[in-house]
Structures are given as C-alpha cells and as structure tokens.
Structure 1
Amino acid sequence: MKNNKTFEGLQRFPLLQSIPDEQLQWLSEHLEIAEIPKGGYLFERGSPIDHLMLIFEGDFELYLMQNNSRKAFGRLQKHDISGLLPFSRAKEASGFAIAVTPGTVGKLHRNHLKELIRRHYELTEVLVHEMNNRIRNITHIEVQNEKLIALGKLSAGLAHELNNPASAMVRSAALLQQHLMGLPADFKQVIKIKTDDDAIDEVNRFMYQKLEEKPTELTLLEKNTLEDDLYDWFSDCSLDDKYDLVPLLVEYQFNTEDLQFVKSLLREEDFNPVLKWIVQNMTTHKTVTDIKEASSRIETLVQSVKTYSYMDQSLDFQLLDIHQGIQSTLNVLNHKIGKVGHEVTTQFDQNLPKIKGLPGELNQVWTNLIDNAIDALPDKGGKLTIWTKGRGNFAYVYIQDNGHGIPEEHANRIFEPFFTTKEVGKGTGLGLDVTQKIIKQHNGQVKVTSRPGETVFEVCLPIGQNSEEENT
C-alpha cells in the first residue's frame, strides 16, 4: 500500500475525519503496513504493546483464556484503532487477537509517539479520547467478568454445601421408612407384655435418660471391646435377633450394666420385646435428629446467602455488623475451606460498634480477601485467621494466612487493575483492585504485609461515617 493509498485509507476512518490532512499525511508516512492471514494473530497474550494499530481491513476476535478454555470478550473490525495509544501505560497484551478474516493493519511504533504528541494536537486528542473509551469499556467487561467468576464460586459452593445435608435427609428418610415397616410385627410382642406401672415408668425414665445423654466418641478399640462384652452377655440369653441388636446398642453405648438393669425390671419373657422397643425408639429418635440437623444446616446456608446478598434490604449506606458479613462469607466459602481440612480461627471484638457502609460491597471485599487467602494456603496445615478490633474512630479487620507469601517484586503491584499472579484463567487481576475501590468508597484503607508463612491484609474502616456524609 503506497503512501497516497494509505492516506486515502486513513481519511475513511470515522475517528480521523476531523483531523487535518497534513497530520494524516504524517501518519501515513510513518505507518508500517502488515497483512494478517485468516487464523493469524494480531497479538498474543504476553506480547509487548509497542505499536499503535489501525485496522484498514479485517475482522479480529479478542479472547482470554480462563480455566483452560477460550472466552471471547470483543472484536476489532475495519476502521477500529487499537494497540498503544498516547500516554498509555500498558506494557504487554493480556489476551489474544486472531484474524477471523484476512486483515490489513497499519502500525505506528512507539518511537514516533513523542513527535506525534508534540506536533499533532488534533490527532493526539482523538487518540487519547479513544484510549479513555477503551479503558472504560475493558474495565466494564472485566468487572462484569469478575462478578461472574465470583457468582460461579458462590454457586459451586452452595451446590456442594446444600448437597450434603440434602443427601443426608434423603438417606435418613429412607432409613426411617424402612425402620417403621418393621414396627407392626414387633408391636404384637409389645402388647403381650405384663408388668406394673412402676416398671414401665422406670423403663421410660431409663430410655429418655439415654436419649438426653451426649455420649463421647468411642475409639475403634473401645467399640470392639463393648461389642465383645455385649456378645458375651447375650450368649447366655434366649433372645430373638439378639446379635442383630448389638451394633445398635453399641451405637447408643449400652453396656452390660444397662442391660442387666432393664432385665431386672421385667419378666424373662418380656425382656426381648422391651429391649427391641427401646432400640426402635432410639433409632427413630436418632434418624429424626439427623433429619433435623440436616434441615437446620440448609436453613443456615439459606440465611447466610440472604445475609451475604442482603436480599430484601436497602442497598444504600446503612448501619451494619461487619462480623455478620464476615461470618456469612465464611459460611458461603466453607466448601473450599473444609474439603482439605484447613483450620479457620475467628477472633471478633465483641465491643466493636456497627459501622455505616454498603453491605453488599463490603461482603464482596471479604469474599475477595478470604478467597485469595484460601487459594494461598499450603496443601497441608493451612491456617486462616480473621480478627477484628476497634481503635479510636476506626474498625480494623485482619485476614491472615500461612501461605507462600507475596513476592517482594509483586507487593507494590497487587492492587493494580489486571495484575494477577494466578495461573492463566484462574483470575482476572481485578479482585484486589475492586476491593481497594470499595474500601476507598467507604473512606477506608487496605494494606498488606507479607513474608513466607504469614500474609496479613488489614482493612481500616471509619466508624459512624460514610462517603455521603463526607459530601454533605
């Protein structure tokens, strides 16, 4: 493409139609023209951003790699301007641009930018304006992407956490149904029992005492010893299904003294149906208790989600308990914490007053910081510690992990937008940038200190004020 043809091509760019001809002529003389075949790359992730690029012909798909899969986030088409723009601080590409159709691209090397800025005001003004639009559009896309990633983590966690108690309820309900099927046959033996009211009251008292007790967890050796004792005791008794009862009796920690006490209250022929009736009642009680605990777990999770998202509540600044937000965040992220046995410790200052803030946004802060801390924990022996304290007119939240730490060369960049040390597809580099923006919105500060085995994020928030009050 000759200079005059390049000049004519530049005149067709909508963004350049108000630019004086002598400036377009200068641009055409300094452009390098590149032909990109279909399937070729205009740029790749990690490649240096050294050229202003003007698309004369072609269609390019922009995409990022996330979780080893390709995620499209835009296109460059004919008459678009991209690449290095005046005053841009971008150093390397964070994504890829692949040609969907053959393309023709004009490239201006960064060595010419100083002359462009110094001599060609109108062209510089248009390019700077385009850079601002690009930053705004990319930031919007990435922020939305960050929210979708957070939503995906939340959904995966909830699905995992809800599945466990739901499955437990299904198993317990099936067990209870099967258990109740056998009651009619045993009922025949129960109604034949002949005993006085005192004995019945004593059996009932004994059984409910057992139900109310909270037995300690037995070791495998203790369980085996108890089983052997019960089998030995039953060997001298002419009872039906006596050996089938032993595992159930061990579960409720019946010993031979308990059995001897019940037997002493009854006739010999009544002991077997009474013992089975006791075990059936305790089995029913345990199964119903399991269902209740599973239902309670689901209720807690649902309440945590409502607290986390502040459903049915105002989205404006309001008085809030930061401990409640942190705890609900821990509940939501419990699947990541518990599946590998990390140790979590919370030390909340109970005298810390409520603060004024945006609850949903602050919960996003706790999610970003806690999620990053969990990712940094070692595979074994991971410890996450969260504590709060009040000092003067400020509330402090500390989130500490015993992970590998933040390298010194990265410590000053972790709050920069798009900067991430995670693997490709594991992070957008916006989590801490969003965190810092939210904290600043609350007139607070966030900082980090790190060394191998100890990384601490400190969030400082003012008590009793917010950005709205600052502006009035």
Structure 2
Amino acid sequence: MGSKTGGECLRDELRTLFLFEHLTDAQLDILCEAGSIETFPAGPLVVEGEPATCFYVMIDGELVMSKRSGGVDIQTNKTSQRGVYFGAWSAYVPGEEHIYEASVRLSKPSRCFVLDANAFAGFMQTQFPMAVHLLEGHMVGGRRQSQIIGQREKLLALGTITAGLTHQLNNPAAATARAVADLREGVGHMRHKLAMVAEAKFTPEALRVLVNIQDQVAEQVAKNKDLELSALEASDREDQIGDWLEDHEIAGAWDYAPTFVEAGLDTDWLERVSSLVDDVDASASLQSAIGWLKYTIDNELRMNEIAEASKRISALLADAKQYSQMDRGAYQSANVHELLRSTIMMFGDKVGYQGKGRPVTIIKDMDKTLPELQCYPGDLNQVWTNIIDNAIQAMDGKGTLIIRTARENDQMIRVEICDDGPGIPEDIIGRIFTPFFTTKPFGEGTGLGLDLAWRIVVEKHGGNMSVQSKPGDTRFIVCLPLVAPPPLTPTPGELSAAGTE
C-alpha cells in the first residue's frame, strides 16, 4: 500500500457527504476529533479477510471493490461517488470478529475520511444506540434464522432422498419375498417329482446321467442370466421347445417351454434327456424327467432373483453411504463423478438414464480425465441434491436432465446441471441465490436451497456458482477449485482453553 498524506478534518466538508449531512455540529466535531482526512495514492487500500481496523468514507477519487472467488478477484463495484463508505462498517456490532469483507483498490489518488474502527463503534453506540440495537438484531438474528431454516432445508432434502431410497429398497425386498415364496413352492413340487422319478424305475446309470444333466442345467442357468434374447428370438425358441414337448406327449408342454427358454436350453438338451429313458415306459419316464428338470430350473431362477435382489440392496446401501459420507472425514479427496452418481441414485424412480423409461431422463457428458478434488464431499452432495431437485420440479417431473463435467482451467473443474424446463424469468434470475427468495407457493419452499448451495460452493470451497436460463435450457454452473480451503486447525492454546470450559 502507498503512503498517505494527512489533512485537516473540517465539519463543513464532512457535511457535504450524504452519510453525514444530517448530523449535528457536535456530532461532526466528535468525528473530526476522532478521525482524519487522508490522501492515498492509487493502489490497494483494504484487503479482504484482514482485520477490519478502519472505517473509510471517500471524499474525492475513484475506487474498485472486489471479492475473492475460486482464487480469483471478482470486481463487484467501481465508483467515484462521493460519500461511498467501506472497511469496518459493522464494527459497532458487539461480540463479532470484524474483518474486511471485500478488497478495495484506489484507481487514482483519492481523499478519504478515516476513522479508527473502535472510535467508529463508540460513536455509533453513543450517538445512535437504538439504530445499533436494530442493526445488531437484524444481522445476528438474520444469521441465526438462516442457520435454523438452513437446517430445515437440509432436513427437507433428506426427506426427499429418504423417500426415494425407501422406494428403491422396497423393490428388491419385495422381489426377494416373492422369490422365497416361489422357491418354497418349487421345493415342494421337486419333492413330488422326485417321488415320480423314483416310481418311474430309472436304471442307476440313467439316474446318474439325469443328475449330471441337472447339474449342467443349473450351470447353464447361471451362465444365461446375463444373456438377453429379443422378443422374436424368445418366441421362436418357445415354439420349437413347445412343439418338441408336444411331439413327445409331455403334459403342460406350453407351460414348460418359457421356463426352458429362460434357462437357455434348447431341443438338443431335451433330446439328451429323452435318450435316457429308452429302457422304461417312455411317456411316464420322460414326463417325470422333464418335470424334474423344470422345477430344478425354476428353483435356480428364483435363487438368481434372490441373489440379484440382495446385490441391489447392498449396492443401494453402498450408494447411500457414499452420498451421506457418514463413514468418512468431512474434508477429503473425492471423485466428483462418484458424488454425482450417488446423488442421482438417491432420487430413485424419479430419474433414470436413457432407455430406462423413467419420467426424467439423465444424459451424462463426463470428462473422465478430471482429477479428484480435495473438498467437503458431503456438502457437495447437498449442492447437487438442491440443484437436481429444483430442476425436476421446474420440469414438472418429466423431461431431460443433462450433467456435464469439464476442466475450467488448470486449477478448477466445471460441473453443469441443465434441464429443459420453462426457464427462469429474467426479472427474478438475479435473485435466485438470495436467502429466503422462492418462487414456490407459500409454505412449500424456504428459499434457502440455492442460498445454501451458494454458500457451500463459494464460501466453503472458494468456487463460483452461476446460472444461465432461457426456455428449454436452464444451466446451473458450478466451478470448484481442485483444492478447497481445509478446515481451520485449532491452536494448542485454543484446544487447551476449550478443555477448561
């Protein structure tokens, strides 16, 4: 910072500034006695984040105000208006740590009225005690209100997510229950068929081969579970097997055919079974053998269903764990694609990828080369949840959601969440990140979802968050640094003090 030069503080000059024009002579004299008028060269005057030691009012000159975001200074104001104030403007609020909330750089030599922060606080508290109480209540009360309703916003999001997860868990759980019931019935049928096989008086060699075929059938069912036939292929194969069974006078031929097709069997398998019974009564023995294999297949298929449902439940719980980050540290390395995937999963049947027949289709355009982030993963999942939930509501539960990731520069990554809803009107788009602003009907929204997302991205991670919108294309753009500011580590003195409270 450049050196300053001083000048005499005159009450008449202070009175020409809009901030002081209604003060009494006595009040202006207090200010002149406590402060001074200084001339500063062009250059930085106030640095964001440093202790707020002085209150400034510009008399003549020009200043540029900026805020730091994602490692970059973003200009928020440039003005030469007389009377513009900055610095320790909230020093009069007691019990707060006062730091400069923005940086100020003078773009040319400027004259400012300068007042020590403590002197400014004392002046406000003695001369305008009611105003100080009102402003203190507004600041502190507003912050507490934001915190309380912010927690409610998180709970509302959690309720939405929990409902989706519950629905998703219910599907495989119900499938497991149905499969167990079918399996119990199938085992009963197998016992009956086993008795029929015994009555058919198979030779020991035929029984040995039949058991061998049963083992091969079970193996074939396991291999076939990931193979899918088209509807036409399945129908053709059912016709072939059904015709073969009818030709061999098997009762219930067309009931058996779909089961054999699902297991991946064909008429060659059936011919092998038929060749085993050439030394006994053919119709009775073949009927028993085919029935035995049919119930073997049924049971294998039901066990596959139970295994798949169990895997699905385990995967859902793993995704829920990833989403909540409940077993991990608050600040850690994380893959942004894994965070997005676990968040999408939590929306359950509301969303799905192309071809899944869900109301909202998701299209992903991901840069797989992105490095992991040092970040607060649980908080970022809250950001994705709030944006995606808003998009689903904007599309009235049906439409297309596009998620893109890319590099923004060498130090940041970019995440875009886009929807094809009606868009955000121009007259309100500038206010959507404002606390308590909502377009939802009274009582249905807190207006803190996007404010919370903004604070997580900008304040906690040092990133940027913006929105672009037109009908059919609304984009929320989140830019995150590769390394977010880590949590503050208490000093030994602070830890000692905390332990004695």
Give the TM-score normalised by structure 2.
0.63
Change (3 A) 1:144 1:379: closer
1:388 is aligned, of 383, 402, 405, to 405
1:169 is aligned, of 151, 173, 176, to 176
Secondary structure in structure 2 of the residue aligned to 1:303: helix
Change (3 A) 1:205 1:183: closer
Larger mean Cα displacement after TM superposition, 384-393 or 207-216: 207-216
1:279 is aligned, of 294, 305, 314, to 294
1:447 is aligned, of 460, 463, 466, to 466
Match of 1:36 in 2: none
1:185 aligns with 2:202: no
Q: CA deviation at 1:340?
A: 4.4
Change (3 A) 1:173 1:420: same
Query: How far, CA to CA, are the matches of 2:341 and 2:373 in structure 1?
Result: 16
1:375 is aligned, of 384, 389, 393, to 393
Q: Which runs of 5+ in 1 are unaligned?
A: 1-86, 88-116
Query: How far, CA to CA, are the matches of 2:290 and 2:170 in structure 1?
Result: 36
The aligned runs of 1:289-304 (5 Å cut-off) are 289-304=304-319
Native 8 Å contact 2:165 2:348 kept in 1:
no
Q: CA deviation at 1:291?
A: 0.8
**Percent of aligned positions that are identical:** 35
Change (3 A) 1:322 1:208: same
Secondary structure in structure 1 of the residue aligned to 2:290: helix
Match of 2:332 in 1: 318
Query: How far, CA to CA, are the matches of 1:429 and 1:306 in structure 2?
Result: 28
Letter of the aligned partner of 1:348 in structure 2? M
Change (3 A) 1:258 1:342: farther
1:332 aligns with 2:346: yes
1:432 is aligned, of 443, 447, 450, to 450
Q: CA deviation at 1:236?
A: 3.5
Match of 1:263 in 2: 274
1:346 is aligned, of 331, 353, 364, to 364
Native 8 Å contact 1:388 1:397 kept in 2:
yes
**Superposed CA offset, 1:69-100 (max 9, x none):** xxxxxxxxxxxxxxxxxx9xxxxxxxxxxxxx
Change (3 A) 1:309 1:347: same
Q: CA deviation at 1:320?
A: 1.6
1:403 is aligned, of 421, 434, 440, to 421
2:247 is aligned, of 221, 227, 236, to 236
**Superposed CA offset, 1:306-350 (max 9, x none):** 1111113222x2222222211111111123215843211223322
Change (3 A) 1:123 1:206: closer
Native 8 Å contact 2:437 2:447 kept in 1:
yes
Letter of the aligned partner of 2:385 in structure 1? T
Match of 1:134 in 2: 141
Native 8 Å contact 1:320 1:356 kept in 2:
yes
Letter of the aligned partner of 1:159 in structure 2? T
Q: CA deviation at 1:418?
A: 0.8
Q: CA deviation at 1:454?
A: 1.2
Letter of the aligned partner of 1:366 in structure 2? W
Query: How far, CA to CA, are the matches of 2:386 and 2:368 in structure 1?
Result: 24
**Superposed CA offset, 1:397-435 (max 9, x none):** 111111111111121111111111223333211011010
Letter of the aligned partner of 1:149 in structure 2? L
Query: How far, CA to CA, are the matches of 1:418 and 1:395 in structure 2?
Result: 29
Letter of the aligned partner of 1:334 in structure 2? G
The aligned runs of 1:446-465 (5 Å cut-off) are 446-465=465-484
Change (3 A) 1:228 1:398: same
Secondary structure in structure 1 of the residue aligned to 2:247: coil
Query: How far, CA to CA, are the matches of 1:266 and 1:124 in structure 2?
Result: 102
Match of 2:499 in 1: none
The aligned runs of 1:406-421 (5 Å cut-off) are 406-421=424-439
Query: How far, CA to CA, are the matches of 1:407 and 1:443 in structure 2?
Result: 28
Query: How far, CA to CA, are the matches of 1:210 and 1:305 in structure 2?
Result: 32
Query: How far, CA to CA, are the matches of 1:211 and 1:354 in structure 2?
Result: 38
Q: CA deviation at 1:151?
A: 1.7
Q: Which runs of 5+ in 2 are unaligned?
A: 1-89, 91-123, 492-501
Q: CA RMSD in A?
A: 3.1
Letter of the aligned partner of 2:130 in structure 1? L
Native 8 Å contact 2:260 2:294 kept in 1:
yes
Query: How far, CA to CA, are the matches of 2:367 and 2:235 in structure 1?
Result: 46
Aligned pairs, number = 353
1:288 aligns with 2:303: yes
Native 8 Å contact 2:467 2:474 kept in 1:
yes
Match of 1:12 in 2: none
Give the TM-score normalised by structure 1.
0.67
Query: How far, CA to CA, are the matches of 2:240 and 2:209 in structure 1?
Result: 29
1:249 aligns with 2:260: yes
Match of 1:309 in 2: 324
